[in-house]
Chains A and B, each alone.
Chain A
Amino acid sequence: MSLESLYQEIIMEHFKAPRNRGEIATPDVSISMNNPFCGDDITLHLALKDGKVSDVKFRGRGCAISQASASLMTEILKGKQMSDAMTSAMLFKKMMRGETKKHEADPLGDIVALEGVRKFPVRVKCALLAWSAFEEGVKGKK
Chain B
Amino acid sequence: MASFGGVAVFNARMPLNPARVRADFPILQQRVRGKPLVYLDSAATSQKPEVVIEAMARFYRESNANVHRGAYKLSEDATAMFEGTREKVARFIGAPSAEGVVYVRNTTEAVNLVAHGWGRKFLKAGDEVLLTEMEHHSNLVPWHLLKRDRGIVLKHIPINDEGRLDLSRLDELCTMKTKLVALCHASNVLGTINPVAELAAKAHAVGALFLVDGAQAAPHMKVDVGSLGCDFYAFSAHKMCGPTGVGVLWTRPEILREMDPFMVGGETILEVFLDHSTFRDPPHRFEPGTPAVAEVAGLGSAIDYIESLGLDSIHSHEESLAAYAQQKLAAIPGCVLFGPRSGPRGGVACFNLEPIHPHDLATCLDQDGVCVRAGHHCAQPLMRRLGVVATARASFYVYTSTSDIDLMVESLNRTREFFGCR
Q: Which A residues are within 8 Å of any B CB, using their own CB? A: 2-3, 6-7, 12, 37-41, 61-65, 120, 123, 126
Contact = CB atoms under 8 A, between A and B. Distances in A.
A66 to B, nearest CB: 8
B375 A63 contact: no
A40 B418 CA distance: 22
Contact of B374 (A3, A7, A38, A41): A38
B112 interface: no
A38 B418 contact: no
Contact of A64 (B357, B375, B389, B390): B357
B357 to A, nearest CB: 4
Given A61-B389, A65-B359, A123-B359, 4 more contacts: A3-B364, A38-B390, A39-B375, A41-B389
B390 A40 contact: yes
A2 B33 CA distance: 11
A40 B390 CA distance: 8
Interface in B378-404: 380, 383, 389-390
B390 A120 contact: no
A31 B358 CA distance: 25
A38 B363 contact: no
Contact of B360 (A2, A37, A39, A65): A65
A40 B357 CA distance: 10
B376 A63 contact: no
Contacts of A2: 367
Interface string B202-233: 00000000000000000000000000000000
Chain B interface bracket (under 10, 10 to 19, 20 to 34, 35 or more): 10 to 19
A38 B359 contact: yes
A123 B363 contact: yes
B367 A38 contact: no
Interface in B352-381: 356-360, 363-364, 367, 374-376, 380
A6 B366 CA distance: 13
Contacts of B380: 39
A40 B360 contact: no
Contacts of A7: 360, 418
B375 A3 contact: no
A53 B105 CA distance: 50
B298 to A, nearest CB: 28
Interface string B339-362: 000000000000000001111100
Contacts of B359: 38, 40, 62-63, 65, 123, 126
A40 B389 CA distance: 6
A64 B376 contact: no
A39 B376 contact: yes
